[in-house]
Amino acid sequence: MNFWENPFIETAASFSVVVLCSIVFLSVFEIVTKYNNWEEIKKGNFSVAMATGGKIFGIANIFRFSIQHNDSLLEMMLWGLCGFVLLLMGYFIFEFLTPSFRIDKEIAQDNRAVGFIAMVISIGLSFVIGANIG
């Protein structure tokens, strides 16, 4: 058996890549939101925690599908990146479709209804995106 075909090595490699990609992708979300996610969470802003948790779940779920349907780390990373871009687009579409208020502003002000919807949108879109990963 080839070293890279060992299930333990494959799992450790996938885990490492997903953790690294998740950190990078969450950093991108941090840049595009108008509030500081981790500062708001530290202050107890539950809406930000829900929205961020939905993003974390969404990213992880997209990678779950990507790992399941791809044989190499490179393919898994590329499909994960593609899925993340779609998830990010979903965030911007959510902002665009709610012109009567600003999503980021409401979440920063701990509007839990908006934080919950943001979380559910991220989770829901991750299943739709993941189902289409080849």
pLDDT per residue rounded down to tens, the chain (134 residues): 677 678 899 899 999 999 999 999 999 999 999 999 999 999 999 999 999 999 999 999 999 999 999 878 999 999 999 999 999 999 999 989 998 889 999 999 999 999 999 999 999 999 999 999 86
Cα–Cα distance, 37 to 40 (Å, whole number):
5
Pure H helices in the chain: 7-32, 37-42, 46-69, 73-96, 103-108, 112-131
Cα–Cα distance, 124 to 122 (Å, whole number):
6
Q: Angle between the 73-96 and 46-69 helix axes, to the nearest 10 degrees?
A: 140
Report pLDDT for 1.
64
Tokens matching residue 59: 């990213």
pTM of the shown model:
0.91
Cα–Cα distance, 9 to 3 (Å, whole number):
7
The CB density around residue 87, as the number of other CB atoms within 10 Å, is 23
